[in-house]
Chains A and B, each alone.
Chain A
């Protein structure tokens, strides 16, 4: 759309700017403030410079949480995106079942995150939960409270359960916008099912898929409540992702300096990856 230049548009944006800035600038400045100082309580602060940042960047604990976080995010995107596309492709386009499918699939998205954690905790309990009991009675040795592998599987499965629907719904919206004429033309040309997917459906889904992956990346990188309720970061530290680790340091040990420094590094990592992604997306949109 052609846009006209109008500086008065700032007045329309002002309320949003004020509200978000109030919520973003003041807390961010607090975090920056803490990250550069040491305190022993009573509001007495000592200048520390960047030593907290060095400490965090060198600490093995931070490297481990970051690695676990990247692995987790990579795994769930690798599972959710293909699964979401496959389900969206095989969903009916019209008829009474469409609404039923959409409502049922959207349901997990609207469950409070701690309830998701609690639900999966109950579901996976090895002795009395539906999943845990079934797996154990089938002869698998499964206990997510004791075995790191089981805990990881359960956490990843929970996220797939929770968020694949978002990708399904986005892709479905993309598919619904393809005019019937495209398919007819493909049939006349004798295109194979794969060709239809590769040259008609995938390009039409590209835009929404980008949004889906961006949203999934952002949200999975800040995941806190669900794994915290499900495993509490355990057994040991095996499912301690970045946010869980951060809250442990900040509110558990009250190490405000290192926690603030870690917050900033964490935020910058997310920002950097999202910025690259956003730039690529915008360039595609302009083309």
Chain B
């Protein structure tokens, strides 16, 4: 008798409980929430969601977040592609040191950089723009993208490159026409990771924006502190932030395991 399914089931149940708590609270009225605990919403209401979708100060936050996450993903992956190729194929002066230096930036605590970033991006007049957050997130996303892509590229035999050059392909033509399609799965996984880390980060995104590029996460913390006990609204806003992540996971579900191993299995 195989009882192996018990542990994963219990684990997934444990993962789902807080999410259920959040969802069920988002469908409750403020009175019901403060009135005491209930497992199911007694007076099912959509009022919290309606407020978010009709009030621009709320829904603009989602748009802002998505804009800088997409810009960041595009920048990170497009500059990381040639660099990862160089690291996986060639030996050059200082390559190992450079690779470790890149990784150190992944280790830098954002709290260390919050204030200097604020001054830097104010000085070049990018403060409170989507581009500022996208560029700041490059600090940790580019090293990660290079790391993952290098793993995937090292799995492609070098004979592929050599054959293409013998057939008269120039470097860039080979890179765009043959190499990129070959590692398409790896690029998908890398984009997933860049999206993920840019989407979940708050400290830098909050520090670098004030009004016009404010991310949803920052709007939530502001609401939590000023309006006191609007827990239902907070829960609804939180529930909506789960959706982009869920969509992205669905698209990469077949490659996710390999991607989490950074292509190095």
A202 close to B (CB within 8 Å): no
> Of residues 99 to 146 in B, which have CB atoms within 8 Å of A's CB atoms?
100, 102-117, 119-120, 135-136, 138-139, 142-143, 146
In angstroms, Cα B161 to Cα A2, docked, is 13
What mask results when residues 108 to 124 of chain A are scored 1 for a CB within 8 Å of chain B, else 0?
11111111001110110
Given contacts A103-B253, A114-B220, A211-B264, contact A90 B92 (CB under 8 A): no
Please tell me which one of the listed residues B14, B18, B88 contacts residue A120 in the complex, with CB atoms under 8 A apart: B18
Assess whether A20 is in contact with B105, with CB atoms less than 8 Å apart.
Answer: yes
Please tell me which one of the listed residues A15, A102, A133, A270 contacts residue B79 in the complex, with CB atoms under 8 A apart: A15
What mask results when residues 205 to 249 of chain A are scored 1 for a CB within 8 Å of chain B, else 0?
001100100000010011011000100000000000011001100
Please tell me which one of the listed residues A6, A90, A174, A270 contacts residue B265 in the complex, with CB atoms under 8 A apart: A174
Assess whether A30 is in contact with B261, with CB atoms less than 8 Å apart.
Answer: no
Please tell me which one of the listed residues B7, B135, B234 contacts residue A87 in the complex, with CB atoms under 8 A apart: B7
B91 close to A (CB within 8 Å): yes
Contacts of A91 in B (CB 8 A): 8
Assess whether B264 is in contact with A266, with CB atoms less than 8 Å apart.
Answer: no
What mask results when residues 65 to 83 of chain A are scored 1 for a CB within 8 Å of chain B, else 0?
0000000000000000001
Q: How far is the CB of B155 from chain A (nearest CB, A)?
A: 9
Q: How far is the CB of A117 from chain B (nearest CB, A)?
A: 9
Given contacts A112-B200, A130-B39, contact A107 B90 (CB under 8 A): no
**Mostly helix, strand, loop or mixed at chain B's interface?**
helix
Assess whether B203 is in contact with A225, with CB atoms less than 8 Å apart.
Answer: yes
B173 close to A (CB within 8 Å): no
Assess whether B21 is in contact with A123, with CB atoms less than 8 Å apart.
Answer: yes
Assess whether A111 is in contact with B203, with CB atoms less than 8 Å apart.
Answer: no
Assess whether B262 is in contact with A271, with CB atoms less than 8 Å apart.
Answer: no
Contacts of A1 in B (CB 8 A): 88-89, 154, 158
> Of residues 25 to 39 in B, which have CB atoms within 8 Å of A's CB atoms?
25, 33-34, 36-37, 39
Q: Which of A51-59, A145-153, A161-169, A182-190 contacts B (4 or more CB under 8 A)?
A: A161-169
A191 close to B (CB within 8 Å): no
Please tell me which one of the listed residues B11, B12, B37 contacts residue A133 in the complex, with CB atoms under 8 A apart: B37
Contacts of B257 in A (CB 8 A): 102, 169, 172-173, 176
Assess whether A108 is in contact with B111, with CB atoms less than 8 Å apart.
Answer: no
In angstroms, Cα B104 to Cα A169, docked, is 24
Given contacts A107-B249, A123-B22, A263-B112, contact A20 B86 (CB under 8 A): no
In angstroms, Cα B206 to Cα A247, docked, is 13
Q: How far is the CB of A30 from chain B (nearest CB, A)?
A: 4
A105 close to B (CB within 8 Å): yes
Assess whether B260 is in contact with A170, with CB atoms less than 8 Å apart.
Answer: yes
Assess whether A86 is in contact with B21, with CB atoms less than 8 Å apart.
Answer: no
Closest B residue to A132 by beta carbon equals B37
In angstroms, Cα B79 to Cα A218, docked, is 24
Q: List, sorted by A's number, 22 A–B pairs whose CB atoms are closer than 8 Å.
A: A1-B154, A6-B90, A13-B82, A13-B83, A20-B139, A20-B143, A23-B117, A27-B120, A30-B116, A102-B256, A107-B246, A109-B200, A112-B199, A112-B241, A113-B217, A130-B21, A130-B37, A133-B37, A168-B11, A222-B108, A250-B115, A266-B109
In the complex, given contacts A104-B12, A113-B200, A127-B36, what are 13 additional A-B residue pairs having Cβ atoms less than 8 angstroms apart? A1-B89, A12-B85, A15-B83, A31-B113, A87-B11, A109-B245, A110-B248, A112-B201, A113-B201, A130-B18, A174-B265, A250-B111, A259-B115
